[in-house]
């Protein structure tokens, strides 16, 4: 507006001047120098003036835009730093909390009692009101306990530190901390001088970091510590009795600090990468990180994340509350931090560890599950994604069988797979081989040739199992055959090696439908279990001479369909029956420990046991998957899982994911904690009314395989 006013005023001035001149023609002639005003001259003058002002105006516009951009940049930066600080503070608190948990655990283990700070009320996660009304432990008692605690302090603290160190190392952050990063964090945490220079001197950051050894770093560290302690959340949480530790800035604290800071690396990196759009980027990244954390499966079978945990993604995803940053300290508008401060104050006032603990607990809304989740998320960042796998994609089509593939089994350690087919053969495949002559096209699976074909059964081969460098197979002909495993480098057209054909275990009077091998103890020979349509469960010792091979033969109430050893307890067998029941049996005595069944359940086609929990999962002909509690024998859950009968199940070694195959031609991937389907793969064609017979997961490598009635086996990665 100002510019416009100035602009309009100008022509008036000229006009006045002009009229003035017109009014005194005599003066003009006196001067002699006085220009002669012509219409053209005036217009020219007006035009030049006009363009000059226009140009100036556009310059101002540009300047204004620049300044606005600058403001936006600075605001964005501020927000990013607020977020970062927010996160750092929370992480420190979480670590502290973990430390406390560990101390409490240690105390429990050592003295067999609940530590004084940990009461039932504490574990029940009291709300804020209850806490304010009074500590659950009376004052004198609390003081006494605090004293006792203080005496145990040194040892406890050391242990706690060790535990935290281990945690951090597990997260993949050990000694690879660079000074640069540390200096960055110091800047971010806001030692005033650094903060002032940080915005201007971003590129100069590393350089200043390099000189850190000359004392700046140490000072910086101390600054952080001071700030932390002033926030009431100093690293050694017992405010009063830890005075020496925190104020001195002693050795052990510093090393911990390093590690803690190292953990924040990724945040610092974000800071580096994002210059202009930092605000958005940081936010979205943080949001992603949170999401991943939420998605990341829980290691612990325990309670897992509760309310507080669920709140986190929201908080991270949305911008922090719009408050004026008053300095390096966290804003008191943030409820979390305010609570933390008050809790810390209580601790300092000497009212005992209890209230402080509670303060933290309620302030953080965290529990141990969170920390473990963080660990998992960090590991997935580091690249060990085996248990964090989301979906599978086909890699190979194993086309060499002439008829339905009935069973498959992965080598326990090698990337090898054996398939058993109704065409009377078993084939061994090396699934690590990259067929170089056939480049993998997108969406196309690659053919692979088997490295060996095992011929021996006089009828369809129904089951296979590898243990101890031996391959076992059972067929419709009622025999169990033992084979040696050739080296994976073998050429399929090498001369016949008779040593690969092992003994034949005869005894079953009907088709053999399931095999499982166990090694009772180190060095002891393998025991093989087999089930047959003659309703028997037999145990074999294949290494013995012919007449001593059969160890035992036990009758089963119905025709068995599948057999497995409990991964958690190899002394127990899980047998599924055509009657729909599953039996948990003692491998040694053959005693039935538990009968798992539901009235009206269709034939059970397969049953597997959870690797960590006492849960049995059974695939039924009536399209359902049933979950049984093996301790109580009760049905835990039952769900319709496919459009047709469920034939096979496979569970990953961590017990997080499960795969199911069905005669509806599809494979489904399930997340076990909430039993949701995460992926469906249509894999095989139908022959008669059969489609998928078996699934297998490699125990240590990232392979999945499916066996189809169409004579194909497919390998997924």
Q: At what angle are helices 307-317 and 368-382 packed, to 10 degrees? A: 50
Tell me: does residue 700 bind other proteins (CB under 8 A). Answer: no
Q: Which is nearer to other proteins, 332 or 444 (CB)?
A: 444
3-class DSSP state of 403? coil
Q: Which is nearer to other proteins, 84 or 712 (CB)?
A: 712
Single out the segment in contact with other proteins by CB under 8 A; choices: 15-23, 56-64, 384-392, 615-623.
615-623
Tokens of 185: 């964090």
Tokens of 182: 């540390």
Helix (H) and strand (E) counts in the chain: 18, 29
Where in 507-526 is the site for other proteins (CB under 8 A)? 510-511, 513-514
Tell me: does residue 686 bind other proteins (CB under 8 A). Answer: yes
Burial of 427 (0-12, 13-18, 19+ CB in 10 A): buried
Contact status, residue 331 vs residue 81, Cβ threshold 8 Å: no
Single out the segment in contact with other proteins by CB under 8 A; choices: 106-114, 305-313, 334-342, 397-405.
397-405
Question: Which of 14, 55, 130, 458 forms a contact with other proteins (CB under 8 A)?
Answer: 458
- Cα–Cα distance, 94 to 314 (Å, whole number): 18
- Cα–Cα distance, 135 to 97 (Å, whole number): 19
Single out the segment in contact with other proteins by CB under 8 A; choices: 333-341, 518-526, 556-564, 675-683.
556-564
Tell me: does residue 685 bind other proteins (CB under 8 A). Answer: yes
Tell me: does residue 60 bind other proteins (CB under 8 A). Answer: no
- Cα–Cα distance, 183 to 519 (Å, whole number): 55
Contact status, residue 568 vs residue 612, Cβ threshold 8 Å: yes
Single out the segment in contact with other proteins by CB under 8 A; choices: 202-210, 267-275, 386-394, 421-429.
421-429
Tell me: does residue 429 bind other proteins (CB under 8 A). Answer: no
Tell me: does residue 403 bind other proteins (CB under 8 A). Answer: yes
Contact status, residue 664 vs residue 644, Cβ threshold 8 Å: yes
* Residue 680 CB contacts under 8 Å (≥ 6 apart), including other chains: 666, 667, 668, 669
Tell me: does residue 554 bind other proteins (CB under 8 A). Answer: no
Tell me: does residue 638 bind other proteins (CB under 8 A). Answer: no
- DSSP of 549-568: -EEEEEE-SS-EEEEEE-SS
- Cα–Cα distance, 606 to 618 (Å, whole number): 6
Contact status, residue 648 vs residue 673, Cβ threshold 8 Å: no
- DSSP of 574-616: EEEETTS-EEEEETTT--EEEEE--TTPPPEEEEEE-SSSSEE
Q: Which is nearer to other proteins, 254 or 592 (CB)?
A: 592
Tell me: does residue 560 bind other proteins (CB under 8 A). Answer: yes
Residue pointed to by tokens 């022959």: 687
Tell me: does residue 664 bind other proteins (CB under 8 A). Answer: no
Tell me: does residue 506 bind other proteins (CB under 8 A). Answer: no
Tell me: does residue 453 bind other proteins (CB under 8 A). Answer: yes
Q: Which is nearer to other proteins, 416 or 424 (CB)?
A: 424
- State phi, psi for 367 to the nearest 5 degrees: -145, -175
Tokens of 22: 């017109």
Cβ at position 690, least distance to other proteins in Å: 5
Tell me: does residue 435 bind other proteins (CB under 8 A). Answer: no
Single out the segment in contact with other proteins by CB under 8 A; choices: 21-29, 420-428, 565-573, 699-707.
420-428
Tell me: does residue 598 bind other proteins (CB under 8 A). Answer: no
Tell me: does residue 402 bind other proteins (CB under 8 A). Answer: yes
Residue pointed to by tokens 């990180």: 289
- State phi, psi for 201 to the nearest 5 degrees: -110, 50
Cβ at position 131, least distance to other proteins in Å: 55
Q: What is the CA radius of gyration of the chain?
A: 37
- Cα–Cα distance, 343 to 20 (Å, whole number): 81
Tell me: does residue 424 bind other proteins (CB under 8 A). Answer: yes
Tell me: does residue 649 bind other proteins (CB under 8 A). Answer: no
Question: Which of 76, 217, 478, 661 forms a contact with other proteins (CB under 8 A)?
Answer: 478
Cβ at position 546, least distance to other proteins in Å: 16
Q: Which is nearer to other proteins, 82 or 534 (CB)?
A: 534
Q: Site map for other proteins, 571-590, x if CB under 8 A?
A: ------xx------------
Question: Which of 400, 479, 526, 660 forms a contact with other proteins (CB under 8 A)?
Answer: 400
Tell me: does residue 165 bind other proteins (CB under 8 A). Answer: no
Tell me: does residue 682 bind other proteins (CB under 8 A). Answer: no
Tokens of 325: 């940053």
Single out the segment in contact with other proteins by CB under 8 A; choices: 34-42, 164-172, 235-243, 707-715.
707-715
Contact status, residue 511 vs residue 462, Cβ threshold 8 Å: yes
Cβ at position 558, least distance to other proteins in Å: 8
Taking alpha carbons only, the member of 495, 394, 502 closest to residue 452 is 495
3-class DSSP state of 494? coil
Please report which residue ranges of 349-401 form alpha helices under DSSP H.
353-364, 368-382
Cβ at position 412, least distance to other proteins in Å: 23
Cβ at position 265, least distance to other proteins in Å: 47
Contact status, residue 586 vs residue 599, Cβ threshold 8 Å: no
Q: Which is nearer to other proteins, 458 or 678 (CB)?
A: 458
Contact status, residue 662 vs residue 642, Cβ threshold 8 Å: yes
Q: At what angle are helices 251-263 and 216-230 packed, to 10 degrees? A: 90
Burial of 443 (0-12, 13-18, 19+ CB in 10 A): exposed
Single out the segment in contact with other proteins by CB under 8 A; choices: 47-55, 368-376, 667-675, 680-688.
680-688
Cβ at position 457, least distance to other proteins in Å: 7
Tell me: does residue 602 bind other proteins (CB under 8 A). Answer: yes
Cβ at position 596, least distance to other proteins in Å: 17
Q: How many residues does the chain have?
A: 717
The string over 351-360, giving b where at least 16 C-beta atoms fall within 10 Å of a residue's C-beta and e elsewhere, is: bbbbbbbbbb
- Cα–Cα distance, 401 to 338 (Å, whole number): 69
Q: Which is nearer to other proteins, 475 or 542 (CB)?
A: 475
Tell me: does residue 257 bind other proteins (CB under 8 A). Answer: no
Where in 121-140 is the site for other proteins (CB under 8 A)? none
Tell me: does residue 447 bind other proteins (CB under 8 A). Answer: yes
Question: Which of 503, 687, 701, 717 forms a contact with other proteins (CB under 8 A)?
Answer: 687
Tell me: does residue 715 bind other proteins (CB under 8 A). Answer: no
Single out the segment in contact with other proteins by CB under 8 A; choices: 71-79, 106-114, 287-295, 682-690.
682-690
Cβ at position 532, least distance to other proteins in Å: 9
Instruction: Kindly list the residues in this chain that would bind other proteins in the complex (CB under 8 A).
Output: 397, 399-403, 423-425, 447, 449-450, 453, 455-460, 462, 476, 478, 492-493, 495-496, 501, 510-511, 513-514, 533-534, 558-562, 577-578, 600, 602-603, 605-606, 621-623, 645, 647, 663, 685-690, 709-711
């Amino acid at each position: 507006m100002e510019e416009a006013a100035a602009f309009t005023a100008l022509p008036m001035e000229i006009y006045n001047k002009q009229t003035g001149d017109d009014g005194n023609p005599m003066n003009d002639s006196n001067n002699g120098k006085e220009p002669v005003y012509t219409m053209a001259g005036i217009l020219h003058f007006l035009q030049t003036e006009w363009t000059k002002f226009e140009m100036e105006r556009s310059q101002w516009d540009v300047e204004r835009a620049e300044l606005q951009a600058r403001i936006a940049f600075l605001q964005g930066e501020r927000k990013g730093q607020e977020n970062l600080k927010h996160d750092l503070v929370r992480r420190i608190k979480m670590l502290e909390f973990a430390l406390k948990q560990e101390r409490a655990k240690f105390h429990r283990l050592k003295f067999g009692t609940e530590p004084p700070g940990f009461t039932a009320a504490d574990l029940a996660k009291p709300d804020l009101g209850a806490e304010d009304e009074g500590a659950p432990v009376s004052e004198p008692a609390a003081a006494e306990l605090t004293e006792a605690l203080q005496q145990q302090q040194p040892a406890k603290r050391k242990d706690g530190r060790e535990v935290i160190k281990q945690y951090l190392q597990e997260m993949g952050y050990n000694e690879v901390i660079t000074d640069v990063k540390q200096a960055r964090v110091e800047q971010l945490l806001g030692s005033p001088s650094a903060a002032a220079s940080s915005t201007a001197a971003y590129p100069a950051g590393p350089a200043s970091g390099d000189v850190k050894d000359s004392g700046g770093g140490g000072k910086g560290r101390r600054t952080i510590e001071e700030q932390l302690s002033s926030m009431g959340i100093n690293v050694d949480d017992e405010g009063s009795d830890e005075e020496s530790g925190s104020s001195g800035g002693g050795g052990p604290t510093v090393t911990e600090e390093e590690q803690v800071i190292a953990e924040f690396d990724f945040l610092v990196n974000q800071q580096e990468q994002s210059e202009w759009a930092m605000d958005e980027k940081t936010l979205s990244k943080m949001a992603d990180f949170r999401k991943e954390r939420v998605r990341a499966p829980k290691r612990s079978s325990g309670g897992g994340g509760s309310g507080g945990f669920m709140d986190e993604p929201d908080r991270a995803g949305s911008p922090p509350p719009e408050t004026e940053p008053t300095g390096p300290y966290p804003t008191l508008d943030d409820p979390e931090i305010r609570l933390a401060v008050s809790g810390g104050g209580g601790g300092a006032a000497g009212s005992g560890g209890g209230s402080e603990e509670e303060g933290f607990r309620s302030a953080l809304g965290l529990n141990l599950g969170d920390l473990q989740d963080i660990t998992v998320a960090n590991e997935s960042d580091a690249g060990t994604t085996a248990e964090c796998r989301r979906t599978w994609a086909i890699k190979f089509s194993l086309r060499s069988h002439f008829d339905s593939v009935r069973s498959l089994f992965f080598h326990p350690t090698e990337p090898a797979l054996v398939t058993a087919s109704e065409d009377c053969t078993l084939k061994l495949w090396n699934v690590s081989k990259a067929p170089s002559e056939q480049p993998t096209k997108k969406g196309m699976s690659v053919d692979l040739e088997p490295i060996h074909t095992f011929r021996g059964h006089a009828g369809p081969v129904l089951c296979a199992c590898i243990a101890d460098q031996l391959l076992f197979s059972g067929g419709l002909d009622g025999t169990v055959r033992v084979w040696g495993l050739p080296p994976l480098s073998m050429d399929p057209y090498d001369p016949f090696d008779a040593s690969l054909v092992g003994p034949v275990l005869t005894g079953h009077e009907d088709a053999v439908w399931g095999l499982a091998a166990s090694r009772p103890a180190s060095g002891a020979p393998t025991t093989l279990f087999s089930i047959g349509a003659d309703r028997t469960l037999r145990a074999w010792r294949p290494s013995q001479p012919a007449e001593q091979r059969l160890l035992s033969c036990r009758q089963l109430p119905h025709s068995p369909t599948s057999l497995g050893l409990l991964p958690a307890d190899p002394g127990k067998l899980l047998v599924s029956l055509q009657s729909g029941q599953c039996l948990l049996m003692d491998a040694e005595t053959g005693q039935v420990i538990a009968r798992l069944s539901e009235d009206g359940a269709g034939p059970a086609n397969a049953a597997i046991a959870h690797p960590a929990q006492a849960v049995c999962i059974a695939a039924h002909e009536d399209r359902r998957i049933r979950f049984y509690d093996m301790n109580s024998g009760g049905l835990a859950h039952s769900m319709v899982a496919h459009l047709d009968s469920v034939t096979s199940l496979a569970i990953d070694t961590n017990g997080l994911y499960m795969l199911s195959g069905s005669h509806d031609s599809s494979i489904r991937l399930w997340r076990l904690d909430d039993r949701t389907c995460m992926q469906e793969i249509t894999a095989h064609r139908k022959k008669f009314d059969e489609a998928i017979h078996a699934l297998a997961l490699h125990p240590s490598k990232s392979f999945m395989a499916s066996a189809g009635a169409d004579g194909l086996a497919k390998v997924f990665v």
